[in-house]
Amino acid sequence: MNKKKIINDPVYGFISLRSPLLFEIMEHPFFQRLRHIRQLGLGDLVYPGAVHTRFHHALGALHLMGRLLDNLRAKGVEISEQEYEAAQAAILLHDIGHGPFSHALEETLLHGIAHESLSYRFMLELNNQMNGSLALALHMFRNTYSRKFFHQLISSQLDIDRLDYLQRDSHYTGVVEGAIGVDRILAMLQIKNDQLVVEEKGIYSIENFLHARRLMYWQVYLHKTAVSAERMLVNLIRRAQYLFKAGESLSCTPALSLFLGKEYSLEDFQSNQELLIQFGQLDDNDIWGAIKHWQSHRDEILSTLSSMLLHRELFQIVLSPQLIRKEQIQQVRMALTSHKNLLQSELTYMFSHGAVSNEAYIAEGQTINILMKNGSVMDIAQASDLPSIKAISKIVKKNYLCWPKNISL
């Protein structure tokens, strides 16, 4: 590539890929797959504009990383060309391990394997294919590089990932409360003793960032309708897995059938390269294509859930800070039994209950640190004069119960 590649982004304008390595990564099938994985999973069922993808997000994060590194260089922080390229490569690939519908199906298709672990496996494979050109990016991603602030830029409570997804998700959903002052935050970041810090005059921008994140969780990521849709999808995939293992014939792509038929561990991905390649074939289209077939399947539970999800006939949901009483759950069970004539073992597919939580800021471990004018460094929870910062450090938990709308309790 003799000249830099220009990409037009609706959030930031023009994004430049100034390195042949970055362009090579972007053109790879592993990365192109992210075009077909929605950033917000089923979020468009609540916000119709939320159809942006992991591909969009990765490019946005790449752009912000470049801008921040330029700012740090201007402040006198020495960053070599190799470090600059590696940091951009690492943030470009940070979400490459996501499966269909992003977080929604991690517990079913992947059985709890974190997408970060699979991102690392994909990066190792790409590094082999690209003759070791991602070695430094891998060190930054795994926090084994000597200059620790690079990992903080990739994964921390104030990382490039969060800066982009809050701004991007706010833009595409139209939820203006999620908008943050990205330009101001990037300008206020500094490096002190090899750690990422925020200059004291930028503290209000960080407070706004934390408030925006908290609001986006309850208004978008954990919106009750989105929770209901995700639980339906999880139940649908669970039912498909049960039928597949019982020997039922299910129409789906070869890659999807592989993960419906067997549970795999992270060790399986580490020892079996072909498994990683097959996972790299999976995206949202595999799931939607299968669901279209399954709506006419002879299994009533599978066909009902498939039809309901396709036509947005979602479960009604109660979302409350109060615990869901056992009596409420039993009431749903009894109503389903009488209305649907289901076996006790089948009831769990037609309703769901559990809890969701929101932690905007964790005041333990890797904190957001403020560089005070006197040179000292303080956690933002202590440096801020707003009591709300301490309040949002608390984990907020809500409980849910959802069931079909045509079932009267």
pLDDT digits (tens, 9 = 90+) for 125-176: 999 999 999 999 999 999 999 999 999 999 999 999 999 999 999 999 999 9
Residue 63 lies in a domain: yes
Number of domains in the chain: 1
Q: What is the CATH number of the domain that holds 139?
A: 1.10.3210.10
For 349-375, the pLDDT digits (tens) are 999 999 999 887 876 767 899 999 999
Cβ atoms of 216 and 237 within 8 Å: the answer is no
Q: How far apart are CA 89 and CA 401, in angstroms?
A: 42
Question: Half-sphere exposure (CA, 13 Å, Cβ side) for 274?
Answer: 3
The answer to whether residue 105 is domain-embedded is yes
Q: Look at residue 373 and tell me if it is in a domain.
A: no
Judge whether residue 388 has pLDDT over 70. Answer: no
**Domain around 95:** 5-223
- Grade residue 3 by pLDDT with cuts at 50, 70 and 90: low
Flag whether 269 is in a domain. no
Alpha carbons 357 and 355: distance in angstroms, whole number: 7
Half-sphere exposure of 314 (CA within 13 A, CB side): 20
Q: State both tokens at 146.
A: 């000597």
Q: What is the C-alpha to C-alpha distance for residues 43 and 51, in angstroms, rounded to an integer?
A: 8
Question: Is the residue at 282 inside a domain?
Answer: no
71-100 pLDDT, tens digit per residue, is 999 999 999 999 999 999 999 999 999 999
How confident is the model at residue 282, as a pLDDT? Answer: 96
* 329 in any annotated domain: no
Closest CA to 88 of 122, 50, 142, 137: 137
Within-domain flag for 75: yes
- Quick one: pLDDT at residue 363? 66
Q: How does DSSP assign 246-258, residue by residue?
A: TT------HHHHH
Instruction: Establish if 61 belongs to a structural domain.
Output: yes
Q: Which residues pair with 84 in a beta bridge?
A: none
* pLDDT band of 27, cuts 50, 70, 90: very high
Which residue matches tokens 């089948």? 346
Torsion (CA) 40, 46, 49, 54 in degrees, nearest 10: 10
Q: pLDDT band at 243, cuts 50/70/90? A: very high
CB 272 within 8 A of CB 146: no
Q: Is the pTM of this model over 0.85?
A: yes
